[in-house]
Structures are given as structure tokens and as C-alpha cells.
Structure 1
Amino acid sequence: MILLTPDLRERLLANGRERGADHVPVVKFFNPLGEGVWLATELDDDGDTLFGIADLGCPELGSFSLEELASITLPFGMGIERDILFTGDFPISVWAEAAREAGSIRAAERILYRARQARRDGVGRASS
């Protein structure tokens, strides 16, 4: 699988030129066979250094290497994959806080999207 399409690469590079902004993650990478989830908001001009949250058992905000992600070889000839359905939806600060509180990016994702759906359901009922 191609980890970054040209469009995703350009969006990450554009965010990388706006350091310090609370960007929404552009892409989610994951290990399809176990632990390992990465949310990236920015890409440096070097084309390799991503910024976001890395979760290998403990979510941490920081930098990680696209080349290293692409070089990971998993059993059955698999590798790290890109979640093609991921939309980000929340600023990286929200993801980081939720992941720290929940213990993982995967748990944070469930919590954030359930909370958003509950708010939408509540708004729909109130306006009926």
C-alpha cells in the first residue's frame, strides 16, 4: 500500500509550513496485526519527518519517520497500512488529550466519535 498519496503529502507539507498550529490529523497509519497507530498532521520539507501522535502502547506527541514506517515488515508479508476511511475531524490537541486519558489512540477514536454522535443525536431531538 502507498502510505502517502500526492494529495496527502501536499496537505502534510502545507501544514508543516504552519508550525505551531493545532492541525487536524491528515492521515492515520496502523499495524493491521497488533499495536501501533500513528496520526500525522505535518510533514517536514525533508519528505520523511512526520509530526503527530505515535502510539506503540503509550500515545506520545512528537516526530516519527515515514521511511521507518514504510520499512516495517510484518508477518505474512504485510506492512504498516494507511486507514483510507480516516477523516481526522478533531485538532491534534484533542486527539492527544483523549489518547492520554483513554490510554490509546484506538480507544480515543471510539470515545471521540461516540461523543460527537451523542451530541448530534441530542441536537436532533431538541430541535424536533
Structure 2
Amino acid sequence: MILIPDDIRERLLANGAVEPEADPVPVVKLFDPAGAATWLITEMMPHEPDILFGLCDLGFGCPELGYVSLAELEGVRGPLGFGIERDLHFVGRFPLSVYAEAARLAGQITESERLLAQAAAALRAHNPELPPNGA
């Protein structure tokens, strides 16, 4: 499976070219089908397209925002020989900060509507300029 097809690559590069303070919606979800690792990717660095940015969760209970190498993800092979896959059904609905706050609350990346709404409300309380709903 191609992890980052051209249409997704274009969106990631566009996000990578905006102000560093931007809080884009995740464009793609990558995961280990035989493990707990998950990545919600928002950006690809225009000057270094092997480098992705997003919410990274290796399954140890401490998801964090950070950078990951696309080449390394493409080269991963688990004990059963499976590689990293793209969630074909994922649609980002909130800015990355909301997913990060929900992951902090849950100890892992989550798509729970309840936790995402709770995280969005908590962030809005601290920053009233955030939109009231998902993106």
C-alpha cells in the first residue's frame, strides 16, 4: 500500500508551508495493523519531504506531537511481516490540538466522540478563538 498518495501528499505539503502556529486538521492516519502504534499526520516538510509532523503514539501510553520519517515508516515490518498501513476511512474533524488533548486524556490516540468533544471544550475554555465544533 502506498502510505502517502499524491492527493494526500499535496495536502500535507500545503499544511507544511503555513505558519508554524497553525493548527491544521490531520490529513492521514497511519497505523501498525499488528500493534498499537498510530500516527495522525498533519504536515510534510516542503524542504524535506521525507519528514512528516503529527501526533505520534507508539503504544506506550504517552502520545506526543513530533516528527517521523516517511522512509522509516515505509520500511517497518512487524513480526508477522505486515507493514504500516493507511486508514482509508479516517477523516480528520478537529484541529490537531484537539486530538492531542484527547490523546493526553486517554493515554492513546482516540477517535472517541466523547473524548474529542471534551478535549475541544477544554481547549476552547483556554482559547476562546477556537471554533466551537470540528473543522
Identity %: 56
Change (3 A) 1:63 1:112: farther
State the partner residue of 2:88.
84
Distance 2:114 2:91 in 1: 12
1:4-43 residue pairs with structure 2 within 5 A? 4-18=4-18, 19-43=20-44
1:1-128 residue pairs with structure 2 within 5 A? 1-18=1-18, 19-45=20-46, 46-56=48-58, 57=60, 58-105=62-109, 108-112=110-114
Q: Report if the CA contact (8 A) 1:30-1:83 is conserved.
A: yes
Q: Report if the CA contact (8 A) 1:41-1:51 is conserved.
A: yes
Could you say which structure has the larger radius of gyration? 1
Shift of 1:62: 1.1
Distance 2:29 2:51 in 1: 15
Which runs of 5 or more structure 2 residues have no equivalent in the other structure?
A: 119-135
Amino acid at match of 2:27: V
Q: Point out 4+ residue stretches in structure 1 off by more than 3 angstroms.
A: 111-116
SS in 1 for 2:105: helix
Amino acid at match of 1:27: V
Q: CA RMSD in A?
A: 1.7
Q: Report if the CA contact (8 A) 1:98-1:112 is conserved.
A: no
Q: Which has the higher helix share?
A: 1
Taking structure 2 as the reference length, what is the TM-score of the superposition? 0.79
Shift of 1:77: 2.4
Taking structure 1 as the reference length, what is the TM-score of the superposition? 0.83
